[in-house]
Structure 1
Amino acid sequence: MSLDHDDVNEGRRRFLMSGALVVSFSLFPGVRAMAQEVIADEGAAVHIGKATQTLAGSLKTNPYLDAWIKIDPAGKVTVYTGKVELGTGVRTALLQVAAEELDMAPALITFLTADTGASPDEGLTAGSHTMADSGSALLNAAAQVRGLLVDAAAAKFGVSSTVLNVRNAVIKTPDGRSMTYGQAVGFVDLHRLATPSSPLKDPATFNVIGTSLPRLDIPGKVSGGVSYVQDITMPGMLHARVVMPPVYDAQLMQTNTPEILKMPGVIKVIRDGSMLAVVAKGEWQAVQAQRALAAGSQWSGGRTLPDPATVHRDLKTISTQHIEIANTHSAAGAPVKTLSAKYTKRYMLHGSIGPSCSVALFKDGVMTVWTHSQGVYPLRDGLTEMLSLPKEQVRCIHMEGSGCYGHNGADDVAAHAALIARELPGQPVRVQWMREQEHTWDHFTPAMVTEVSASLDAGGSIVDWNYALWSSSHNERIVNAGRLLPARMLAKPFVSAPSVPMVQPEGGGDRNAIPLYTLPNVHVMNNFSPTMPLQTSAMRSLGAHMNVFAIETFMDELAAAAGADPVAFRLKHMQDPRAHDVIKLAAEKFGWPRAARKRNHGVGFAFGKYKNLMAYVAMAVEISVVPETGQVMLEHAEVAVDCGQGVNPDGIRNQIEGGVLQSASWTLYEELKFDTSRIRSFDWSSYPILRFSAVPRAVNVHLINRPGMPFLGVAEASMGPTAGALGNALFDATGQRLRDLPLAGESLRKRIDV
């Protein structure tokens, strides 16, 4: 397996990535004026950006066609994406998109993901943006490349391009003459800006998009092949382990380095301030040395952690920025009944199954890092600052990691690997965190508090809606070196960039805090905390998990107060026709409303449109409760999904099913254990997740396909609706309206006993 893309000619691409976009000729009709404007102004990139805002997806920021597709004279087609595979199947889906518009079998395309030495810069792979951004870019780039090649062939053949047939990178005339893509590209310069319009195929003719192409990443995973960055082996590779402080802000005072250097296989102990690591020839030797080094190190006292009992009360004190994100007013009936509720969510772990890992090599002045980061370009920039190296001397290559779905330790361990490799030039160094480090030094999901009140008129319609939340950004991604954990531990530490709220409509902690329902008077306030007592950052769906839980369970309370069926009540307050379709489909497939149910069983319904921008999801669930233990089982779920043009139906179902399971684990069981001294969730016994014995008996996903419609991100879309449906089903089963996450376990048992 090739660990770096040595077949990529980096010369032109590195030149382009340096920002030198000045050109003095017309790239294609209609861009001469833009090129002249770029030449005349030092802010070239700004003007390029303005001129490309009508382009699709990530073409806005990466507008050159050859940033996405390269074809050599031999006919080899290489397609690039700046997005990464995180286990969601997007590598397969993006390949399908490119193959469809290039009129090629997917197997004939070399498809490469994020690499700062080769791929377009698409920032982070997060927020269910991959298909909307990279998929849209590839769809249009591939169509334009195909169109240019066909036009070039038509000119050479002396025929109209409309009579030519394309199949598997071969262009044919009706009389049998043919030209390969490799031959045609000799008459076309693909180093040109994309155009706003593309010769897209009629969706009715698709034969790759809309099919369940087998996942590219699965065979290696199920056969034990090299699949993850954790699996990398390289000639002469050394192994390193790091020693982490016992608590935040503890300073390293003393080590037993001389003893460690005498241990078998140990090559070096590296210390820079409080950043401490040991390097050995073998992995087990590194683990043994790390344990001995940790036991022999002395630290100063660190920062006191918050009292878990007062976390939610404290949020209202530290949330010092008050941001109004919705304030609408229109005529409505007179309120006759008002309801209110408060909801809380605790800190949670990412719980990555594989501890974070990275391999780094510092050779000939260039630092190369293999990483499972969700953003190789932001990571590259952070490492550049930390190492004081020019950007062209730092390269980050993505490899899938075993476990992610948010900002876990991937970037931090990459920084560890780079710092250690710098001390051992010419030798690849593999660094993997220990399980307790992955848990205790995670970027936890922030705690949250939400409060909602709403009024009904005499006809059972909602006439006002007031919602407030207290939390943080939920996103402390790498925007400078100080966001990298080991960079803050150095003798000359870097300082983390200030936390800032993510703006709507995406949102951070306030993601999905504005209901999609049509309500006459809406006020939504985000009470933002720029600091948090624990290290926090992005977890799959950010604040949407909690906000949709609160909104959807409160909608059930309002429906009950209005004497209405929960599904009918939602439809009454929803004008979006696509939302109507998924709500009706989920209800129909479930057989809503259910007849009388068995004892300790309940059903629930919920809806959400992720970020009010991406996929629509509605679901109905059935659960069972064991009163003696508080255990809750998700027995059955029927889920309806509309994500626009579906690319890989099996992949979409896979992500919805996985999201349902993960959200069920969060909603029912997961919470970080800590006290004022330490993080106490350091292994799987102290941080339980949903086990195989508790997986749902059936999760059926029903897709509403919209051929030709924009791709809508689906990977995180089921997190909120799952939480809402479970909360409503628990009320149905127990008569207890539970508003504090997690919902199951000992707290539920006590509520049932009352």
Structure 2
Amino acid sequence: MSGPSLPRSLQDTPQLGRWISFAAPGKVQVRTGKVELGQGILVALAQIVAEELEVALERVEVLPADTLLSPNEGFTAGSQSIEVSGAALRLVAAQSRRALLRVAATRSGHRPEEISCHDGLLRVDGTDIGLDFWTLAPEVDWTETIDIRTTVRPSRDYRIAGTSARRGDVLQRLTAGGFIHDMAFDGMRHARIVRQPFRLARLASIDRERFARRHPKVAILQKVDFLAFVGADEYCVHAAHDEAEAFVEWTPDPGRKSAANAPAAVRTEVRKVQTGHPATNSAIRARYSRGYIAHGSIGPSCALAHFVDDRLTVWSHSQGVFALRDQIAACLGLHPSNVRVIHVPGAGCYGHNGADDAALDAAIVACELKGTPVRVQWSRVDELSRGPLGAAMATEIEAALGSDGSVSAWKLSVVSAPQAQRPGTGGYANLSSAEALDPATAPRQVEDLPELAGGGASRNATALYDFPDHEVSVSLDTRSPIRTSSLRSLGAHLNVFAIECAMDELAVIAGLDPIAFRLRHLKDNRCRAVLNEVAAMSGWRPGDAGGEGHGRGVGVARYKNKGAWLAAVAEVTVDEAVRIERLWLCVDAGRLINPQGARAQIEGGALQSASWTLLESVPVAEGRVLPLNWSNYPILRFSDVPEIETRFIIDENEAPLGAGEAAQGPVSAAIGNAVSHALGMRVRDLPLTRERLTQLLLSDQA
């Protein structure tokens, strides 16, 4: 029987010195391929390193992801940074400590086990021996391979991991900038990209003479269907971009675009058991849906690039700097070793928004203006309308109850637009300006994410419940020309919404309380625990009739069926619109590295889910996204934020689990079930806008 294997990150980059350095006096510099998106991951990783080395947290500096210097850890996605990178850095720090103690033992004549560490100083029997990590570091062989057998500190001894360490980067952002939008270089040129109004549109004409008269300080840069306005004065460039429609004409080219090939539908028989309880006529067949969703980043996508001496450097808030580097190199005919991508935090985005597109935009212009730094800033309309969208999808559930009132048969079918088209996925650039340079680069084949990675459209399509007859099928629909890609939780958002709403419908048919009905079908003790706890937190009242505009609802799931468990109860009022009054959340994310950071992730996810559930859907006409801004793409406002109570069930003996996307599905389901409870009728299609609920009520009365 084989033993445990190294985390994937360490398999790919096994040399100790690629991860950690003691070269700066008094500092521990850590390299990671994971990036800061506002989720506080870098402080949590620093806590892990500080704990293993037994040094003050202030000594640990986690450096930005940089394709020239950092290990390649893929995308910062899937709520896996603590599970994957955290596990890797724990081993890195533990092995570094062991290597330093070996050198100290040789120098001092003491055995390694006799030497203790105190903030980088080494002691024997409480007495300093005149050595520290930084003086010993040059004698360590940092090329040694990381060993899975390295002993790590037991969690019972933790003093730093498990505490709510403050995030120094937040104060920096408030007082001194630090976002990519704040970066500037001497002699920099600003660029705005005139984006194709629909995918693979052909640039028909540009009225250059009129443009030059109107905007004399702005130059036009065109390469095939890539069009940029460039100048030294950002205001002038912005003004020209605002008037682009007056000078530029686009035309469709039907020969350019055909639907990408999609894989055959995947059908999985999760469970098939002869129960002895035949299905009755008590059954449902229900369809649940959501439209396209925008990322809605407050700060529009931005990037900078500089091409000097045949080398291109790009600064980006991408979630995958290595994949982005490779695709920029391929698009521009450069060797990847001549392209460097450095991560700089943006305004925050969970998923594949326009950050990568903006990076290629800046790179294209920089290669044309060799030696000149270039800054690209997207407009608000571009950010909401031209970046990749969260996939539209529909989930249908057929379920029946047996003679004992339990689910005897369950069949779930998902149809979704592609959920994962990040740069490089499937071997395609998946970047809008790559398609503008060469329409042939548009994807011709689309795949869903594999189940090992948590799935895409299939994410959480398999219910956590113990149904005797359980079948799932998933298919991708690639007919729409609208570009879709990863948005926080991917298919889990709608799939959990559908599963949990169907469970409520079945509970009504069975004449059981919704929580009691769920518990009847749950063997997972940790799931049962969060469900029971959220019921206690919220003062759940079995048999509450609801109606008359006031309701409560529940939702529960385990993210990707292998991450954190989360149960939610929502309390709503419905009059002219839906208002969420309170949310109760109970979470089991295993051992927490930074409890306050975990809470921020959970509650931020809950609010984003509430916004999707009540407000967000991208309007589409004839396969095109309409120009959007905050007036026609509303998001949740501060005045709409409900009171939230969050509680964690913590077991220090359990490994940390990804929590960043655990709230999306359960919270949406809890809100949907609460609205159904308030109205006395089922809601199945998101978002639950005033207009949609009015139509539903009118159709019911008819």
Bucket of the pairwise TM-score, normalised by the shorter protein: over 0.9
C-alpha distance in 1 between matches for 2:17 and 2:682: 56
Provide the secondary structure at the position in 1 that maps to 2:571: strand
Pick from 130, 135, 140 the counterpart of residue 183 of structure 1.
135
Cα shift at 1:178: 3.2
Q: Secondary structure of 2:607's match?
A: helix
Residue 519 of structure 1 corresponds to 467
What is the distance in 1 between the residues matched to 2:214 and 2:105? 71
Match of 1:604 among 536, 540, 553: 553
Of 227-236 and 650-659, more deviation after overlay is shown by: 227-236
Report Cα offsets for 1:429-481 as digits up to 9, x if no partner.
10011111112212111211111112222222222211111113300011156
* Residue of 434, 437, 441 corresponding to 1:487: 434
| Amino acid aligned to 1:222 | L
AA partner of residue 564 (structure 2): A
Contact 1:252-1:300 at 8 Å conserved across structures: yes
Find the counterpart in structure 1 of residue 448 from structure 2: 501
1:588 matched to 2:536? The reply is: yes
1:364-384 per-residue CA deviation (whole Å, 9 max, x = no partner) reads 111000001110000000011
Supply the distance in 2 between the matched residues of 1:750 and 1:359 (Cα, whole angstroms): 47
* Mapped contact 1:321–1:529 kept (Cα < 8 A): no
Deviations 1:668-699 (A, max 9, x none): 11111121274225111111111112111x11
CA distances 1:346-397 after superposition (whole Å, capped 9, x unpaired):
1121112111110001111110000011100000000110111111110000
Tell me if 1:438 matches 2:379: no
> RMSD of the TM alignment (CA)?
2.3
Q: How much has 1:750 moved relative to structure 2?
A: 3.4
1:464 equivalent to 2:409? Answer yes
Q: Match for residue 334 of structure 1? A: 278
In structure 2, the residue matched to 1:206 is: 158
Measured at CA, do residues 246 and 694 of structure 1 come closer, stay the same or move farther in structure 2, by a change above 3 Å? same
What is the CA-CA distance between 1:291 and the residue it aligns to? 3.3
Residues 619 and 293 (structure 1 numbering): CA distance in 2 closer, same or farther, change over 3 Å? closer
8 Å CA contact 1:625–1:632 kept in 2: the answer is yes
Query: Do the aligned residues in 1 keep the contact of 2:306 with 2:370 (CA within 8 Å)?
Result: yes
1:675-729 residue CA offsets vs partner (Å, 9 max, x unmatched) = 1274225111111111112111x11110112214222111111000011111111
Is the contact between residue 482 and residue 624 of structure 2 (CA under 8 Å) also seen in structure 1?
no
Partner of 2:566: 617
Does the CA-based 8 Å contact 2:122-2:128 persist in structure 1? no
Match for 2:477 among 526, 529, 541? 529
Deviation at 1:325, TM superposition (A): 3.2
Q: Which residue of 2 aligns with 1:363?
A: 308
- Shift in CA distance, 59/709, structure 1 to aligned 2, threshold 3 Å: farther
Partners of 1:724 and 1:681 lie apart in 2 by 30
How far 1:339 sits from its partner (Å)? 2.1
**Which of 623, 629, 640 is 1:683 aligned to?**
629
SS in 2 for 1:98: helix
2:189·2:372 contact (CA, 8 Å) conserved in 1? yes
**Equivalent in 252, 265, 288 of residue 322 of structure 1:** 265
Question: Are 1:372 and 2:317 an aligned pair?
Answer: yes
* Contact 2:218/2:237, CA 8 A, preserved across alignment: no
Change (3 A) 1:508 1:272: same
Deviation at residue 58 of structure 1 after TM alignment: 2.1
Inter-partner Cα distance in structure 2 for 1:265 and 1:281: 12
1:647 matched residue in structure 2 = 593
* Alpha-carbon distance, 1:150 to partner: 1.7
1:107 maps to what in 2?
58
Report the 3-state secondary structure (helix = DSSP H, G, I; strand = E; otherwise coil) of the residue aligned with 1:321: coil
**Are 2:458 and 1:510 aligned?**
yes
1:51-66 matches, within 5 Å, as 54-56=5-7, 58-66=9-17
SS at match of 2:144: coil
Q: Which amino acid aligns with 2:566?
A: V
Alpha-carbon distance in structure 1 between the residues aligned to 2:391 and 2:152: 43
> 1:420 deviation in Å?
0.1
Can you list the C-alpha shifts for 1:493-513, whole angstroms capped at 9, x where unaligned?
534362112121411011000
Kindly indicate whether the alpha-carbon contact (under 8 Å) linking 1:247 and 1:678 is maintained by their aligned counterparts in 2.
yes
Structure 2 spans left out of the alignment, 5+ residues: none
When structure 1 is superposed on structure 2, of 435-444 and 485-494 the one drifting more is 485-494
Q: CA contact under 8 A between 2:205 and 2:248: conserved in structure 1?
A: yes
Judged with a 3 Å threshold, the aligned counterparts in structure 2 of structure 1 residues 205 and 558 are, in CA distance, closer, same or farther, namely same
**TM-score normalized with structure 2 length:** 0.94
Kept in 2: contact 1:323–1:528 (CA 8 A):
no
Instruction: Tell me, yes or no, if the aligned pair for 1:512 and 1:543 is still in contact at 8 Å.
Output: yes
What is the CA–CA distance in structure 1 between the aligned matches of 2:307 and 2:415, rounded to whole Å? 44
Give the conservation status (yes or no) of the 8 Å contact 1:71–1:77.
yes
- Mapped contact 1:103–1:166 kept (Cα < 8 A): yes
Q: Per the alignment, do residues 478 and 367 of structure 1 end up closer, same or farther by CA in structure 2, a change over 3 Å counting? A: same
Distance 1:91 1:558 in 2: 44
Match of 1:20 in 2: none
1:173 to 107, 124, 134: 124
Q: Which residue in 1 is equivalent to 2:43?
A: 92
Aligned AA (1:409): G
Aligned to 2:493: 545
Is 1:350 the counterpart of 2:314? The answer is no
> One-letter code of the match for 1:615?
A
In 2, Cα distance between equivalents of 1:66 and 1:567:
51
Quick check: 1:53–1:60 contact (8 Å CA) kept in 2? Answer: no
Task: Please tell me the residue identity of whatever aligns with 1:88.
Answer: Q
Question: Where does 1:369-408 land on structure 2 (aligned, <5 Å)?
Answer: 369-408=314-353
CA distance in 2, matches of 1:544, 1:164: 49
1:725 to 661, 670, 686: 670
CA deviation string 1:546-580 (max 9, x = no partner): 00000011111112222222112212211111112
Q: Which amino acid aligns with 1:193?
A: T
In the alignment, the residues of structure 1 paired with residue 672 and residue 255 of structure 2 have an alpha-carbon distance, to the nearest angstrom, of: 34
Identity %: 37
Relative to structure 1, is the Cα distance of residues 711 and 577 closer, same or farther in structure 2, using a 3 angstrom cutoff?
same
CA 1:372–1:265: 2 relative to 1, 3 Å: farther
* Counterparts in 2 of 1:259 and 1:558: CA distance versus 1, 3 Å: same
Residue 231 in structure 1 maps to residue 182 in structure 2: yes
- Asked if the contact 1:91/1:113 (under 8 Å) is kept, the reply is no
What TM-score do you get using the length of structure 1 for normalisation? 0.88
Measured at CA, do residues 360 and 263 of structure 1 come closer, stay the same or move farther in structure 2, by a change above 3 Å?
A: farther
Residue 583 of structure 2 is aligned to residue 637 of structure 1: yes
**One-letter identity of the residue aligned with 1:559:** A
> What corresponds to 2:114 in structure 1?
163
Cα distance in structure 2, aligned partners of 1:338 and 1:418: 56
Report how far residue 192 of structure 1 moved: 1.5
Aligned residue number for residue 39 of structure 1: none
1:163-200 CA distance string (max 9 Å, x none): 22212112212243131112222332121211112321
1:176 aligned counterpart, secondary structure: strand
CA displacement at 1:302 relative to structure 2: 5.3
Q: Does 1:419 align with 2:364?
A: yes
State how 1:81-160 maps to structure 2 within 5 Å.
81-160=32-111
Q: How far apart in 1 are the matches of 2:693 and 2:244?
A: 43
Per the TM alignment, residue 293 of structure 1 is displaced from its structure 2 partner at its CA by 4.3
What secondary structure, in the 3-state scheme, does the structure 2 residue paired with 1:660 have? helix
CA distance in 2, matches of 1:470, 1:491: 30
The residue type equivalent to 1:477 in the other structure is R
Q: CA deviation at 1:270?
A: 0.9
Which whole-Å CA distance do the structure 2 matches of 1:302 and 1:350 have between them?
28
CA gap of 1:380–1:677, structure 2 versus 1, over 3 A, is: closer
Work out which of the residue numbers 543, 554, 557 in structure 1 matches 2:505.
Answer: 557
Checking the alignment, whether the CA contact within 8 Å between 2:395 and 2:498 is kept in structure 1 is yes
